[in-house]
Structure 1
């Protein structure tokens, strides 16, 4: 997507030479990117890392319910994870477009390994307080702030351009497979041994990613292009703002995640307070969300083909809102679990479509900066939403907070149709075989 395109005048279409990836025989299969040995290694490492991340989420959320079970403190765990992304993701994206991404990824994985290992040791020793948990969670969020835009910007280097949308979809499958398995495993282990076991597994998963990165031999390197750090940041922000597809994608991320965060911010309390479940039950609910997402991945291409990207996003938001309202209206465990499956479908379909739109629209020289803007929009919406719905639940109740969020989501689904993202999808579809 580079060529001679000016960063200050976003084009209708952008094109770039195929990324330097090992040549592989291509077909229309959704699994074709896994035939590339480099991408396959990254995908497996990502699957294990995502598994560790979801186990960590269960451990941290449940540990806070033991340390301080107020809705605001429980939702603050997710806010502490997201806040560094809100504050620093854009500078991190600028850095990833200026320095060698492999070295930057190695550094971030080392930070994450050390921090999670420290949290595991302190938890096992019984020395963790609610505020220390939030502080260490903030440090983990800081490491992820450097890692995520760099990782996402590296994906197009691993596969041919014609496989990019499938590689992104497989990344979503990896994430949601981990979500389908990790929470149930973590819930059972946490119930038996304590939250420290989840943190320990997460630390080990970061070590696995480091091994894969050590074996990655890149044939390219980033450059400052003679620009200062601040000028690079300005260039990236200006490009995103002046590219309609990117601008609308970020708006629609906010319109979805802000109300949808009522699920993640309050789910530990749904399990513990309303359903009277332990950590294993909390893990089952998150597993149901992941199972719904994996199920949706099977049907997403057909839905996008029939509805187009814009209507796919709004329809998926309505699906999520229906599940959230159903969860808020019932105390029956089977009904709440079914609602979690429905929300998993809506969550995956919405964010995968928006992520693909962003990845395809961005030229390679802007990709880390552009994806950092995407992550900032998502994290800002998540942290704001978690605080908002935690406060509403404190003032009213968990169920009322979720119902208000569901109704809000129905409204924002309709508003989102005013902000089209379909240009990026049309570009990608023309590039596929």
Structure 2
């Protein structure tokens, strides 16, 4: 590729996939999130393996995820109301500072040997309460940083950041675990290699929050946030009055109940089905993240209002196929390919659905509506992960993964019915408007 071709490629990427980075403050926010999310996913992967290694119980990873996201279900509507009433940048800065403090405490607790399972569970529950405010605030903050015509692209890039981190973070955790195993012979007697690797992951995650705090410090409040009147339940009323958006949120709940538990099934799958260790588990998580990264790039580059229905259907279809394939796979390379398919399909669906809501919702209600989106994701997690963890102990990982694939496949059918109904309704509305226009023309003539 010559110089002119490279310049043409870079210009095309700048003007399509990364066009939202033209906006200075969004660019700062994007850079900070890259570092912070890598640390978050590194900590998540390390924590899952640490607790499974300590307990040998496949349900513990499920309980940890429930502790982290469950509070959003309880307090998400309140968090969304805060996002509509108070300066969003200041609110996000506060929540990120709380995450930093929690990561420091977790690092000290694990390094000192005090990380009994119940204490780690409490720390993750505290993290979850902070997230109940942070997530709606961040979802409502992004549309303040870019004009509306670049919002779909910005949502896609946010998904790109999150899922790049999903690929890189667990891979870095795997590297740190390998290094911990390599230096284990020279460590003091009684030092556990898994604990050493996990402690390093938690410490680096704490440092990563400094990047996003620095980025936020350089961003002024994009607009004055007048204290919005109204109830924190206005978001639910908005979805109730708009069946197309309410139906999308309801289907998203079902997708997440069946698809997200794959994350907590993977530790047992790696050891019991593949007969491998934590480095292979990290690679499977990274494969899922790589697929999600591809979906985020597709959304950022090709996402549009006209393609939203096709992207939603493609997402759930690929996700269902990946879960079913994972249930049948017994080789690491096949499992990695299936994890990539699950990540691609799930994120293509979720990023498209999120952008549909963010574009449709008026500014003064965005925090409260997006809070219900966040609460839907959070409500699905306790149910899905707890059921999956229990089912694995009863039926084994293969049958559970096949059942998860079947559940997502049923959502694809329901979504197709919903989209066909909306298209017919829109066609009838257009015909009615045409008839009304023709009648008015006849009367005026």
2:116 to 126, 129, 149: 129
Report deviation, 1:333.
0.9
Matched-pair contact (CA < 8 Å) for 2:320–2:409? yes
Cα drift, residue 148 of structure 1:
1.3
Q: What is the aligned partner in structure 1 of residue 331 from structure 2?
A: 332
Q: For 1:52 and 1:190, locate their aligned partners in 2 and report how far apart those are by CA, in whole Å.
A: 15
Who is 1:197 aligned against? Answer: 200
TM-superposed CA distance for 1:27, in Å, is: 8.2
Structure 1, 231-240 or 65-74: larger mean CA deviation:
231-240
- Asked whether the equivalents of residues 144 and 222 of structure 2 are also in contact (C-alpha less than 8 Å), the reply is no
**Mapped pair 1:308 → 2:307:** yes
Instruction: Using the TM superposition, give the Cα deviation of residue 419 of structure 1 relative to its aligned residue in structure 2, in angstroms.
Output: 3.3
* Counterpart mapping for 1:28-43 below 5 A: 28-43=15-30
Work out whether 1:207 is the aligned partner of 2:202: no
Deviations 1:76-123 (A, max 9, x none): 111111101111111100011111212211211111111111001111
Q: Which runs of 5+ in 2 are unaligned?
A: 1-12, 181-195, 427-445
Q: CA deviation at 1:277?
A: 2.5
2:5 paired residue number: none
> How big is each residue's C-alpha offset from its partner over 1:140-177, in whole Å with a ceiling of 9 and x where there is no partner?
12212211110111111111111111111111111111
> Would you say 1:216 and 2:213 are equivalent positions?
no
- Name which of 51, 64, 78 aligns with 2:65: 78
Is 2:165 aligned against 1:166?
no
Distance 1:234 1:297 in 2: 31
- Counterpart contact for 1:68–1:74, Cα < 8 Å: no
Q: Distance in 2 between matches of 1:308 and 1:41?
A: 29
Please give the secondary structure, in 1, of the residue aligned with 2:85.
coil
Note the 1:179-328 alignment, pairs <5 A.
179-191=166-178, 192=180, 193-225=196-228, 227=229, 231-300=230-299, 308-328=307-327
Query: Aligned pair in 2 of structure 1 residues 235, 330: CA closer, same or farther (>3 Å)?
Result: closer
CA 1:302 to 1:49, structure 2 compared with 1: closer, same or farther past 3 Å? closer
Tell me, what secondary structure is at the counterpart of 1:276? coil
| Deviation (angstroms), 1:245 | 3.4
Q: Which has the higher helix share?
A: 2
Change (3 A) 1:419 1:69: farther
Q: Which has the larger radius of gyration?
A: 2
The alignment covers a number of residue pairs equal to 395
Do the aligned residues in 2 keep the contact of 1:51 with 1:178 (CA within 8 Å)? yes
Contiguous gaps of at least 5 residues in structure 1: 1-25, 427-433
TM-score of the superposed pair, with normalisation by structure 2: 0.84
Aligned to 2:47: 60
- Counterpart position of 1:18: none
Quick one: distance in 1 between partners of 2:197 and 2:288?
A: 23
Look up the match of 1:20: none
SS at match of 1:223: coil
- The answer to whether the 8 Å contact 2:152/2:300 transfers is no
CA distance in 2 between partners of 1:182 and 1:354 (Å): 25
Q: Is the 8 A contact 2:146 2:154 kept in 1?
A: yes
Query: Equivalents in 2 of 1:296, 1:249: separation in Å?
Result: 19
- Equivalent position to 1:107, from 91, 94, 114: 94
Cα separation, partners in 2 of 1:65 and 1:102, compared to 1, 3 Å: same
Aligned in 2, Cα 1:355/1:126: closer, same or farther, shift over 3 Å? same
